[in-house]
Amino acid sequence: MKKLMILLAVITMVGAFTATTLADVDLYGSARFRSYYASVDSGVPGQDSDDDLEWRMGHLSRFGANFKSEKITGRFELDARAGQGGWQEDIEIGGGSSMLGNMRLRHLWGQWDFGAGKLMVGHNFPLYDAPVSGINYYSGGLQKFGGIGYTQARSSQLRLTFGDFRLAFLQTDTTQQQSPLGTYEEANIRFPKIEARYDKRIDAFALSFIGGWQTYEIEDRLPPTGSKATEDITSWVLGARCKANFGPAYANLGLTYRQNGKNYGAWTVSIKERAVLQGNDVKDATAWGLVAALGWKINDMWTLEASYAALDSKQDTPLDNEDDAIVWGIISRITMAPGVYIIPELIFQDNKDASTNGVTTDQGDTTVFGVYWRIDFK
């Protein structure tokens, strides 16, 4: 009998220890649907506008899991994509998971709390990511019109966190650019991309300050001799965001200034945010942008938001090489039940004029009206 009691005590102790060491794993998902009508004016005289209906699953539909133990946290997440042609083709052909049913890795990272700080390893959001607007049509607010964000919204990285300060070492981006010397033969990477971010809450205000830097060397053959030339493409970004909450009302503002943002991988609608060649010298591109949003929670079911964004970019060339864009939008977020949202949206996008070597081109405008549907589950 005594041996049986000892055995039961040992089993109880082992079970209790095992239970305390097991991690919490929470599954979650979000199904989203896009139903938009867009009228696109190309700006070309005599050319009719292009009117199209979009009716498909949203890009941001996702499925994943959060992992949490005493010292380790992590996340795994997939989202819906067309797959073969990537994100850009998904936009252009009106594809999406409703046609091909493919999924893409969105998050896969783990983080260790070592006491003095935290170490994160894997694929996660970069630090240069600070949404302001709730617009869903562009799959990321109004970030590409002057906001703080990436073309590819997640990146491989090592990240350190010390309280409100984070420092990340990311994969250098050589894909989101066009070589200023033509089609480059090789990109030589010697340093990772570096980003730093400081977040602070003060009463009703949430403040974020972000900076990033990357550089790499490209090798080309210069016509007509075919001689080899090497040039460094250096990019840096700065961003600041303030989110203010005043009970039922809120106001958000994001500001950014950057050099060679397209080369860096910043999400931008501008065609002038990349370095260009003038003679034998590389001329940098600079841009500034802002995104602002005002919202009002009328009641638990209904929230209204108006947002605006502006982007101004230019290349450091003797002749005029500039590109501007503005956009404004209104959304009505209707909460039908916990996790169930119907969001009507109205958007006007003015692409303004672009100047290339002193020649100005009208880039037209786009008007969008539609509804974004979303059901979250866990």
Q: What is the rounded CA–CA span in Å between residue 143 and residue 149?
A: 6
Q: Which of 111, 130, 212 is nearest to 167 (CA)?
A: 212
At 255 the three-state DSSP class reads strand
Average pLDDT, the chain: 85
At 164 the three-state DSSP class reads coil
Average of per-residue pLDDT across 175-199: 75
What confidence score (pLDDT) does residue 104 get?
82
Percent above pLDDT 70 for the chain: 83
The answer to whether residue 5 is domain-embedded is: no
The answer to whether residue 88 is domain-embedded is: yes
Confidence of residue 361 (pLDDT cuts 50, 70, 90): confident
Residue 20's CB: how many other CB atoms inside 10 A?
9
The answer to whether residue 41 is domain-embedded is: yes
Over residues 100-148, the pLDDT tens digits come to 567 788 999 999 999 999 999 999 999 999 999 999 999 889 999 999 9
Contact 325, 344 (CB under 8 A): no
User: What radius of gyration, in Å, describes the C-alpha atoms of the chain?
Assistant: 24
Find where tokens 């340093």 sit.
191
Confidence of residue 357 (pLDDT cuts 50, 70, 90): confident
Query: SS in 3 state form for 2-53?
Result: HHHHHHHHHHHHHHHHHHHHCCEEEEEEEEEEEEEEEEEECCCCCCCCEEEE
The answer to whether residue 4 is domain-embedded is: no
For 114, the token pair is: 């070592």
Over residues 219-250, the pLDDT tens digits come to 766 655 666 777 888 999 999 999 999 999 99
The answer to whether residue 11 is domain-embedded is: no
Residue 177's domain comprises 24-377
Position 151 pLDDT exceeds 90 = no
The answer to whether residue 14 is domain-embedded is: no
Q: How many domains does the chain contain in total?
A: 1
Helix (H) or strand (E) holding 66: strand 62-68
Q: How many helices (H) and strands (E) does the chain have?
A: 4, 22
Contact 298, 304 (CB under 8 A): yes
Give the DSSP per-residue string, 323-337.
EEEEEEEEEEEEEEE
* Residue 123 burial (10 A CB sphere; 0-12, 13-18, 19+): middle
CATH number at residue 240: 2.40.160.10
Over residues 164-183, the pLDDT tens digits come to 999 999 998 887 545 444 55
- 265 HSE (CA, 13 A, CB side): 22
What confidence score (pLDDT) does residue 85 get?
45
Q: What is the rounded CA–CA span in Å between residue 153 and residue 267?
A: 9
* Residue 14 burial (10 A CB sphere; 0-12, 13-18, 19+): exposed
What confidence score (pLDDT) does residue 222 get?
61
Q: What is the rounded CA–CA span in Å between residue 225 and residue 220?
A: 12
Q: How far is CA 153 from each of CA 103, 108, 156, 266, rounded to the nearest angstrom?
A: 15, 13, 11, 9
Q: What is the rounded CA–CA span in Å between residue 156 and residue 109?
A: 9
What confidence score (pLDDT) does residue 48 get?
73
Highest mean pLDDT, choosing among 165-174, 258-267, 337-346? 337-346
Over residues 273-300, the pLDDT tens digits come to 988 877 667 889 999 999 999 999 999 9
What confidence score (pLDDT) does residue 178 get?
52
At 260 the three-state DSSP class reads coil
The answer to whether residue 236 is domain-embedded is: yes
For 23, the token pair is: 């991690």
The answer to whether residue 191 is domain-embedded is: yes
What confidence score (pLDDT) does residue 22 get?
61
